[in-house]
Amino acid sequence: MTTSLSRTPHRKTLAAGAVSALAMGMLAFSGAAHADSLATLDSYIKSTRAGYADFTQVVTNANKPGAGKQSVGTFAFKRPNQFRFDYRKPFQQTIVADGKTLWMYDADLNQVTQRSQAKVLDSTPAALVASATSIESLKQRFTLEAVPVKDRLEWVKATPKDKDGQLQNVMIGFDGKQLRKLEILDSFGQRSVMTFGNFVPTVPAKVSFKFKVPAGADVLKQ
């Protein structure tokens, strides 16, 4: 992404991770036994229409050992193609998909990046929340498999069939009927772990999927 976000690696990672993680997260607020996780995923795609939750995200780099960088915020979604991430700490950033356009706003830079939603999401896990209607539709772009229990969570792994993208895979961790973790690994060795809480199957009235460009903000169209 050729914006100022590319000059701030942590912000770029968070933004990319959010878009990837969101799609998987929207699918995942449902529990399943290990053997039935794919069937549960299929059922969830067909039945769950909206949701809202808090999240904590920790980004680490396998090539640079050390403490991860942590952010917190909230996210919301409404099928078939709307979602919103609001990062609160350590900096404010908003990511909104309104159905046609993907907006990314950095409050510190007062800068907005505007992109075609279809072009951005088709080859990423965000396509799952934007257009998926069944497991079969997902298999056109992802290899899906049930993964053994780890950390007392049950997992589904999604690996993009497009090997030219920046994403290696996404792991979805379930606890009972709720998503607890997403583990996103990219081709640069960066690992983003998102932990979710306080999920509700509705979108609060205060949350809007319409993005309004803040006064004085620079807008970069891509």
Residue-wise pLDDT for 186-222, tens only, equals: 888 899 999 989 988 899 999 999 999 999 999 999 8
Name the more confident of 125 and 48.
Answer: 48
Tell me what percent of the residues of the chain surpass a pLDDT of 70.
Answer: 75
Q: What residues have CB less than 8 Å from 164, skipping those under 6 apart?
A: none
What digits encode the pLDDT tens for the residues 32-86? 344 477 776 776 677 778 889 999 999 998 777 777 899 999 989 888 889 999 9
Q: For the chain, how far is it from start to end, CA to CA, in angstroms?
A: 9
pTM: 0.78
Q: What residues have CB less than 8 Å from 25, skipping those under 6 apart?
A: 53, 75, 77, 172, 179, 182, 194, 196
Q: How confident is the model at residue 2 (pLDDT cuts 50, 70, 90)?
A: very low
Taking the C-alpha atoms of residue 92 and residue 71, their distance in angstroms, rounded to an integer, is 10
CATH code that applies to domain 4-199: 2.50.20.10
Please check the confidence at residue 20 and state whether its pLDDT lies above 90: no
